């Protein structure tokens, strides 16, 4: 059975319409070019009676102007006929291309509309190809058109060589997991690392567990560990709870901006962004990824360090518990569970996580980085250099641009990450009531001292030096 018969009457009618439109367009253009006497001359219609350019004016010793005009017109017509033939050939050539490419495209679309799986596969393939171009542009710092020219002419794409990690991660994705708790500055750190070119962003993948801390031995711990490990492995199949939660809380995917800008389109909507097949293949394209986790006890992340194929580094981010509690109770209105609002739970987790982090540093040298929120706030440029070097990335200009725009201006909103960073260290001092300050310090003083946070008896005339000491960690 021929392709035409497979298409049926509708397909044949569509092909006939396309060919008819092509012929009409060609006829219209050729007809216009075949009558140069009707066309404008220098933007005006010539008039043989009034136009001085063609009027018969007697000049002594010269032939009439209208005779010269006739010869000029004859030459003009000959030139135009030559150009018409050239135009005609170009038109025919274009129509031949249209037949070969556009009609083939129509046939593919007609075929795919009868098969939903084919439609989905076509959309996924198109989105993945588009994503590849985006990543290539970001990594090279060049537009795709420039890249294509460079490839055609065997030229180097850019004079700025990418850092050594790029060569290393072509076969293995380099991954950074930010482990912390709510209101500790993790969103700023996540956005900072996401500003680096070609980063895949797993944003809070455990939201489906609600507003609670997932601790060892408690319900949900094994499931949470599996979710984290699988997503870092680009495995989305079988994680229906994650997908369903992401469909409700779309920032879980939309904060992965490079992915979201590809899968969320005006024509098709955002359905593709929650397709496990697309997510799996898209995730594999990225050379780097980050994951922000605020619900999981640090010791439960040990398996991702044990799996060398994941090539993961953990950044353990901590903040002064007085600042954390102030932010949870004064800045936001959703912190209503005991795991969130109780300072005893917060500081017990901080103490356990620090012990775990120190042990992990011994067991997995170079894989765990301990970062205080206050140090990043006071020296954002130096700490960012140090952090990027630790995780194996260079200081890209886009990271610097992010730092400048997010640490020098103050937009004091609950979810804003654009703040004058140096003022944030002591911000809680004037906000946290004395009664609450006593409660927090009563529950947290031992672990505060482990992190270098200094207890105070009054919130009068407090400077950074009064509340923040050096972070001194065991060396062995």
What number of H helices and E strands is found in the chain?
Answer: 20, 5
Q: How far apart are CA 252 and CA 270, in angstroms?
A: 13
C-alpha radius of gyration, the chain, whole number: 34
Query: DSSP 3-state assignment of 394?
Result: coil
Structural domain 167-259+278-467, CATH architecture:
3-Layer(aba) Sandwich (3.40)
Q: How far apart are CA 300 and CA 213, in angstroms?
A: 11
Pairwise CA distance, residues 29 & 188, whole Å: 59
How far, in Å, CA of 293 to CA of 276, rounded?
Answer: 21
| 199-203 and 174-179 strand pairing | unpaired
User: What is the separation, in whole angstroms, between the first and last Cα of the chain?
Assistant: 77
For 406-420, give the DSSP string.
HHSS----TT-----
Determine the pLDDT at residue 55.
38
Look at strands 288-293 and 368-372 and give their pairing.
unpaired
> Minimal CA–CA distance to 213: which of 108, 298, 281?
298
Residue of 417, 343, 340 lying closest to 186 (CA atoms):
417
3-state secondary structure of 27: helix
Entry field: residues in the chain? 476
pLDDT at residue 93, rounded to an integer? 59
Coil, strand, or helix at residue 448?
helix
Q: Write the CB contacts of 60 (distance below 8 Å, at least 6 apart in sequence).
A: none
| Residue pair 164/301 in contact by the 8 Å Cβ criterion | no
**CA distances to 43, 72, 84, 85 from 34, in Å:** 18, 17, 7, 10
Distance of alpha carbon 101 from alpha carbon 112, whole angstroms: 17
Measured distance CA(55)–CA(65) in Å, rounded? 7
Give the three-state DSSP class for 402.
helix
In three-state secondary structure terms, 290 is strand
- What residue spans of 330-433 are helical by DSSP H? 338-341, 343-363, 373-378, 380-391, 397-407
Tell me which residue of 375, 399, 422 sits closest to 192, measured CA to CA.
Answer: 399
What pLDDT score does 171 carry? 41
Check if the beta carbon of residue 202 is closer than 8 Å to that of residue 336. Answer: no
Bridge partners of 141?
none
Tokens 């170009």 belong to residue: 90
Return the SS3 of 105. helix
Q: Tokens in use for 394? A: 């260079």
Amino acid 166: pLDDT: 36
Segments making up each domain of the chain, as ranges:
3-114, 167-259+278-467
**pTM of the full structure:** 0.72
How would you classify the pairing of strands 288-293 and 174-179?
A: parallel
Q: What gap in Å lies between CA 297 and CA 287, rounded to an integer?
A: 27
Contact 428, 323 (CB under 8 A): yes
| Distance, CA of 297 to CA of 305 (rounded, Å) | 14
Which class for 180: exposed (0-12), middle (13-18), buried (19 or more C-beta within 10 A)?
buried
Rounded CA-CA distance 413/261 in Å is 25
SS3 call for 314: strand
- Among residues 362, 301, 305, 350, which one has the least CA distance to residue 324? 350
Q: Token digits for 120?
A: 């989905």
CB 353 within 8 A of CB 298: yes
Contact at 8 Å (CB) between 195 and 218? no
pLDDT by 10s per residue, the chain, length 476:
444 344 455 555 555 555 555 555 555 554 454 444 434 443 443 443 334 333 333 333 444 444 444 555 556 556 655 665 665 566 555 545 545 555 566 556 555 556 667 668 888 988 998 898 888 888 877 776 776 665 555 555 455 444 443 333 334 568 999 999 999 999 999 999 999 999 999 999 999 999 999 999 999 999 999 999 999 999 999 999 999 999 999 999 999 999 999 999 888 899 999 999 999 999 999 999 999 999 999 999 999 999 999 999 999 999 999 999 999 998 888 999 999 999 999 999 999 999 999 999 999 999 999 999 999 999 999 999 999 999 988 999 999 999 988 887 654 544 444 455 678 899 999 999 999 999 999 999 999 999 999 999 998 999 999 999 999 988 75
């Amino acid at each position: 059975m021929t392709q035409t018969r497979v298409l049926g009457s509708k397909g044949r009618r569509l092909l006939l319409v396309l060919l008819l439109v092509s012929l009409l367009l060609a006829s219209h253009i050729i007809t216009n070019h075949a009558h140069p006497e009707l066309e404008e001359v220098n933007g005006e219609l010539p008039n043989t009676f009034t136009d001085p350019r063609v009027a018969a004016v007697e000049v002594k010793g010269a032939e009439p102007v209208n005779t010269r005009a006739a010869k000029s017109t004859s030459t003009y017509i000959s030139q135009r006929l030559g150009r018409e033939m050239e135009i005609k050939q170009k038109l025919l050539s274009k129509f031949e291309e249209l037949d070969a490419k556009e009609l083939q495209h129509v046939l593919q679309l007609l075929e795919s509309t009868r098969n939903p799986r084919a439609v989905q596969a076509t959309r996924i393939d198109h989105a993945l190809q588009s994503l590849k171009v985006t990543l290539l542009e970001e990594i090279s710092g060049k537009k795709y058109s420039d890249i294509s020219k460079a490839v055609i002419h065997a030229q180097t794409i850019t004079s700025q060589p990418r850092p050594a990690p790029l060569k290393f991660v072509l076969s293995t994705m380099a991954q950074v997991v930010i482990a912390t708790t709510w209101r500790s500055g993790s969103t700023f750190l996540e956005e900072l690392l996401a500003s680096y070119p070609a980063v895949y962003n797993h944003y809070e993948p455990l939201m489906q567990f609600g507003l609670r801390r997932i601790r060892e031995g408690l319900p949900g711990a094994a499931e949470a560990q599996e979710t984290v490990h699988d997503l870092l492995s680009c495995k989305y199949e079988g994680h229906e709870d994650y997908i369903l939660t992401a469909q409700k809380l779309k920032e879980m995917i939309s904060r992965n901006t490079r992915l979201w800008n590809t899968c969320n389109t005006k024509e098709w909507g955002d359905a593709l962004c929650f397709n496990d097949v697309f997510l799996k293949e898209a995730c594999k394209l990225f050379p780097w990824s980050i994951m922000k986790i605020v619900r999981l006890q640090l010791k439960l992340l040990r398996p991702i360090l044990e799996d060398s194929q994941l090539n993961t580094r953990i950044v353990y981010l901590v903040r002064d518990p007085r600042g954390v509690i102030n932010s949870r109770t004064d800045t936001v209105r959703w912190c209503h569970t005991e795991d969130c609002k109780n300072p005893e739970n917060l500081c017990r987790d901080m103490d356990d996580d620090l012990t775990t982090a120190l042990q992990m540093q011994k067991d997995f040298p170079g894989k765990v980085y301990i970062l205080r929120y206050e140090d990043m706030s006071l020296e954002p440029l130096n700490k960012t250099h140090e952090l990027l070097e630790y995780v194996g990335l260079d200081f890209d200009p886009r990271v610097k641009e992010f730092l400048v725009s997010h640490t020098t201006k103050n937009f004091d909103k609950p979810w804003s990450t654009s703040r004058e960073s140096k003022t944030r260290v002591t911000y809680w001092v004037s906000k946290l009531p004395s009664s609450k300050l006593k409660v927090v310090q009563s529950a947290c003083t031992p672990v505060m001292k482990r992190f270098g946070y200094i207890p105070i008896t009054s919130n009068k005339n407090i400077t950074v030096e009064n509340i923040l000491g050096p972070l001194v960690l065991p060396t062995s």
